[in-house]
Amino acid sequence: MFQNVIVRKPARSLVEGITSAPELGRPDYDLAVKQHQAYREALAACGVKVRVLEPLEAYPDSCFVEDTAVLTRHCAIVSNPGAASRNGEAREMLPTLREFFPPERIESIQTPGTLEGGDVMMVGDHFYVGRSARTNEEGIRQFLAILNRHGLTGSEVPLEKVLHLKTGVNYIENDTLLVSGEFVDKPEFRRFRKIVVPPEEAYGANCIWVNDRVLVPLGYPTVEREVRKAGYEVLLTDTSEYRKLDGGLSCLSLRF
């Protein structure tokens, strides 16, 4: 069960964030602020304490805090984002991590290694890490070594098409995965029960489990229906403005 969540309010510079889908248009900042507030309320309804950080105008993508660190039961691992414009975000997160973890339990990925939290999926004490355009071989090597030092395990998952691992596969506990696209038949995930997301709702695969509830993005009825059928209580959360910047529900928080 999660006890804490860290989020960061979107900066006004959000509208200049990185995107691979310019055809979706620029985010509406005021709407993004309202959606972020609703997201925080949904998390709080799951029984966690939400630590809200102030905006960082120097970093347009800084509301996507998941990419700055990987938080485990035993340690915090500060990332080294593969997108150059985001390198400083991980350093900005460090003071907050020190509120929750002692110094000997805070590790970091060092250059030339790169790693973004969106490429890491936690399944108990095992961590799947995607090798992507943002997370490289050296970053994964360091990450797995850190896990091993703290009694945890991990394994690499090569990515073919998506930006981050959790763009297309997300663990919602109870041995269940939401999968879309290239992840439907990945051998690494053969043992799991799978909820297959249709191509037209691929964005909806990025759901998050928080203390027996699942946050599902608004507007993906197949995903909502199948998650409910699997026995979960669903909280619908609108992330339309964050989708314009390749962001989803998991990207907006660190849960631990």
Instruction: Please list the active-site residues.
Output: 164, 251
Tokens of 255: 């849960």
Structure tokens at 101: 């973890």
Measured between alpha carbons, how far is 87 from 221 in angstroms, rounded to an integer? Answer: 36
User: How far apart (Å, rounded) are the C-alpha atoms in residues 81 and 90?
Assistant: 8
Alpha-carbon distances, residue 255 vs 137, 222, 241 (angstroms): 25, 26, 21
**d(C-alpha 116, C-alpha 124), whole Å:** 19
**Cα–chain center distance at 207:** 9
| Residues 40-46: contacts with CB under 8 Å, at least 24 apart | 40/7, 42/215, 42/235, 42/237, 43/5, 43/7, 43/210, 43/215, 43/253, 45/213, 45/235, 46/2, 46/210, 46/211, 46/213, 46/235
CA distance 83 to 75: 24
